[in-house]
Amino acid sequence: MKSFIIGGSTESMSVTKFRSVCQEIGKNLALIGNSLVICSPFDDSADYWVLKGFIGQVISETQTIDILHIGSNDIINKVDDLKKNINIKNLNIIPCITSSLKGNEKYSWLLCQLQALETCHSVIAIGGKNDGAANMLLILAESKRKLVFPFPFFGGAAALSFDRIRYQLEDRMGNKHLKLLDENKVGESIELLIDQSLQSNKLEKQVDKNIFFISYPKARPQEADHIENILRRRNYLVYRDESEFGAGKNILNEIEKNIRSANIFIATWCKEYACSPWCFDELELALDLCESRGMKIWIFNVDGTRLVPKRARNLLTYPIRTREELDGTLLLLLGNQVTGID
């Protein structure tokens, strides 16, 4: 598995500590059998010091180091100097096709980093400027559903990434994701990469597969809002009806299309839902799809109101009285989707 390094020192951190932790990351990546992808040959980058830690270990013939860099003469000379200290069979020096125009250097580096991102399986982030390329690259990596391991204890772009994906990390690792917060548990955190790579592939397939439609009464949107937030934080595609239309009218074409596009229908059943003709229309369509093509229906009973529709009475419903119960039930159902439990 190739791990791409993103990050660098920032003004608020101890440079000595930063270098030490980066070398620890490199050492442990080598020990678990990973390959390395870096871009910067400069000693203010995480790349440089992770590489130092990596090459200090015994590297197997299957492990590689890829160095992607811009093709200017001074950078080529810098990479050549770095290469003299790297005694590894599978060292790939890859000059990127970039602009030679003066003033375009930052875009050229960005192009190299984008190419590196495409080739990697996981991303290790530490430090990095909030307003620099590191933050943008991490957002892109997250959107591409790369396996991102951000170490937030030095702040910077890595800390921002950790805040954005902490729920996904917690879903995958439970409380083990808290090891990323401890600079003294870098080795233990890196060891999690192997298991998380397998889990990430499984989750990615599941996220791609599952599309949700949330059905709720307009008079009581709070549970639907919370469910949507949980699902979107985990990169699921979510549809819901945010339009207003009168009772007695047919389901709008767009709403019907979205329900038919989904494979999991979530209803927040309550007294307001029971009194809503258009909620009934949505649920009836979902019941039809359940019978015809196996759409899954999750009914969260949020206030104890008796379930009225005859066809829905045989379905399993989930009594919800608190936000904690909603979180726990939804996360359990999502976990069952990953493991294949109905």
CA atoms of 198 and 195, how far apart (whole Å): 5
pLDDT of 200-236, one tens digit each?
A: 555 555 545 789 999 999 999 999 999 999 898 887 8
Give the pLDDT band (50/70/90) at residue 99.
Answer: low
CB 302 within 8 A of CB 222: no
pTM: 0.64
Highest mean pLDDT among 40-49, 53-62, 85-94: 40-49
CA 110, CA 98: separation in Å to the nearest integer? 10
Which segment of 54-63, 145-154, 197-206 scores lowest on mean pLDDT? 197-206
Q: Check: CB of residue 299 under 8 Å from CB of residue 324.
A: no
Closest CA relative to residue 186, chosen from 125, 142, 135 = 125
| Structural domains of the chain ordered from first start | 2-205 (3.40.50.450), 210-339 (3.40.50.10140)
Helix, coil or strand: residue 155: coil
State the amino acid at position 20 in one-letter form.
S
Strand runs labelled E in the chain: 2-8, 35-38, 65-70, 91-96, 122-127, 147-151, 211-215, 237-240, 264-269, 296-301, 317-319
| 45-49, 125-129, 209-213, 247-251: the lowest-pLDDT one | 247-251
Q: What is the mean pLDDT of the chain?
A: 86
**Is the model's pLDDT at 3 over the cut of 50?**
yes
